[in-house]
Structures are given as C-alpha cells and as structure tokens.
Structure 1
C-alpha cells in the first residue's frame, strides 16, 4: 500500500477574506498562499457542477490549513456542537494555553475557559467567524 502523509486540513468558508483575517490575527499565522482553481477537471473532482474555489493555505510545520470559498456555495454543514455526527474541528497546539486565552480578542467566541481533561490535556474550543470549531490545546 502507498504510504500516506498529512498534506492539508480543509475548512470551507463563505467569506475567504474574513476567514483569512481571523486565522492570521487570532493564531499569529504568516500570510497565506492564495490561489483560485476552476475548470471542468476541478468541478468533476469536487463533485460540484461549475465549481470555482478560492483558496488560502497557511503552512505550519509541513502541513497546511486550507481555507476555501466555493462558487457556487453549498448548504451550511457547520456542526453546532462537537458531538454531532459529521461535526469537524481543527486542532492547534500551543505552548501556553492560558496565555493564548488571555490574548484572545473579545470578539472571538469560546465554548469555555481553558480546562484540564482527565488525560491531563488542557483544552479550549473557539469558533471562527463561520462557526467552525477550533480546539486549541496544550498537551
């Protein structure tokens, strides 16, 4: 079997510019690589007739966080809670969760203050402007 390796973790958004600003500012990411993909092969590949995708890739330690805005836009699939079947979340590690939390802009929605789980991992979930869940953790 072919060996697999992580390449990117994708998040579909409705407003790419707003999402880029949030991820860049909230997580102190470097400016992303941006590009657009369209054409018949892309539309067939994603299974969306006439699709065009505007992409932004944040590169982190060899993997990418991919934000993509599609035209045409599909139905909202954001899970309101992490335990809903089909819900997704992005996990990002920090060295000091309390410092990260203290530095959050007041406009960033959180599910709770940082908490320590039974496993000893410290976690805090935030939402991006699209409602997507992001787990910020300190292992």
Structure 2
C-alpha cells in the first residue's frame, strides 16, 4: 500500500503552486485557494497548506543525524538540465548534481519555505536485493515523462523495527539496501516499497538527535499512508483537525 499524499506547509500557497509547477511540473488538481492546493505528482499528491508567516521557527535541521523526516524525492529525466533551470532562478541547493552510490544521479535543493527536495535520475542498483519482485516493479515504472513522486526519506534508530511496523500496518516491503562505504558515520539506506512509492530509511552508527513533529510551521508537515496505524501509537492533531500519528523516530503520518 502506498504513500498517498505529502502535506507541505507554506507561507504563500500561490508562490508554492508556481514553484512546484515550474520546476517539478506538478499540475493543480482542481482549483487552488489562498489556504490550500493539491498537486498531481503522478504516484501521489502533494498538498500545499497555508501557515502563518513567522508564527514559529521550524526545528528541522539539514543534518541527517536528526531522526524523523529528511526530504521528499522525485524521479526525473534530464536531471542536469532541470538543475540548471533551478540554479538560474536562484533556488538554494544543498547538494549540486552528482553521481551517487547505486548508479544514480541526484541533487538536493529547497522549496520556498525550506522543505528539502531531491531529484533522482536512473534506476538504483542495490547493494543487496531483498525483494526481487518489488525491485522489478519499481524498474517497470520506467523513465518518467515528467517528475513523479518517489519517496519520503527518514532517519531512524532501528531499521528492522521500522520495517516491521510499516510492513505489518501499511503493507511496505523491504526491497533493498544501498551502502555508503566512504561515510565515516556508518551510513546505510534501506528501501521500503509500498505500491509505487517508497520510504527511504537512513541509519547511522552515530548518536542521533530527536525532533518533535511540527504540523503548523512552514515545511514538511506529514505524509498520508494507506493502511491502519497501530493501536497505542502516539498521536496529535493537525491544524485542519486531521488525526496524525507519530512513529518512534518522530515521523508524522495520517492514514486514509
């Protein structure tokens, strides 16, 4: 079962609609309002929600040793061409285009309100394949005609615990790993596939910091997953009244 929606808070909905439309070719579904817009990201939707500017500072930091949400990833073609357009527009980059482990090309950049986004070009060549059928289905999606939602990345304390939870309650399968042999932090990535979407799971040998989800500040708010949350999982409420669950690593999600 897939990730169905990604909720991103923004301080100017129209500005964000234009940003995601221009740079990631995500068209509107229906009409945008001053408070909300929904964009078609092929395999999921991206929902933009208005928050008050300067109401509270985000505690998210660009250090992957902070547990919980890390970034939203999109599969693309022509990555370098797309990155050049972003650069020409003055978009801030965290990582310029480069060839990464797994024989893919990637880059990282920020949306207008600080949500970290990734573009990925190519099919991952996993260090270890754990679900051959899942990998085959991933590759069968082919080269995207326009950017499509691929994954949400999270940092966790215990990858097996994370796998068991999202497998048992939301139908995700652990399809493979990518190792980072040159990273002194003991960095490893696991891929949990649900439908045509992925939870990209970061683990490290180093001590990690905690972060409480913030559902009402600019930036990533929560994801919407298929399936049912486990009983007893910590929960909170989004500004629109949605019941949002929090996993042991601080990743926030709702169910639908």
**Structure 2-normalised TM-score?**
0.41
What does residue 193 of structure 2 align with? none
Q: Distance in 2 between matches of 1:55 and 1:78?
A: 23
The question of 1:7 aligning with 2:4 is answered: yes
Deviation at 1:72, TM superposition (A): 9.5
Change (3 A) 1:81 1:27: same
What does residue 103 of structure 2 align with? 120
Q: Give the SS at the match of 1:33.
A: coil
The question of 1:61 aligning with 2:42 is answered: yes
User: What does 1:58-137 correspond to in 2, within 5 Å?
Assistant: 58-70=39-51, 75-77=56-58, 79-83=60-64, 84-104=66-86, 105-137=88-120
Q: Distance in 1 between matches of 2:43 and 2:60?
A: 28
Deviation at 1:119, TM superposition (A): 1.4
Deviations 1:12-63 (A, max 9, x none): 1122122112111122222343466xxxxxxxxxxxxxxxx92211112241
Deviation at 1:86, TM superposition (A): 3.3
Q: Which runs of 5+ in 2 are unaligned?
A: 123-256
How many pairs does the alignment contain?
A: 120
The question of 1:28 aligning with 2:9 is answered: no
Q: Which runs of 5+ in 1 are unaligned?
A: 37-52
**Structure 1-normalised TM-score?**
0.71
Deviation at 1:88, TM superposition (A): 3.2
Q: Distance in 1 between matches of 2:97 and 2:53?
A: 38
Contact conserved, 2:73 with 2:119, CA < 8 A, in 1?
Answer: yes
Contact conserved, 2:72 with 2:116, CA < 8 A, in 1?
Answer: yes
Contact conserved, 2:77 with 2:121, CA < 8 A, in 1?
Answer: yes
Change (3 A) 1:86 1:31: same
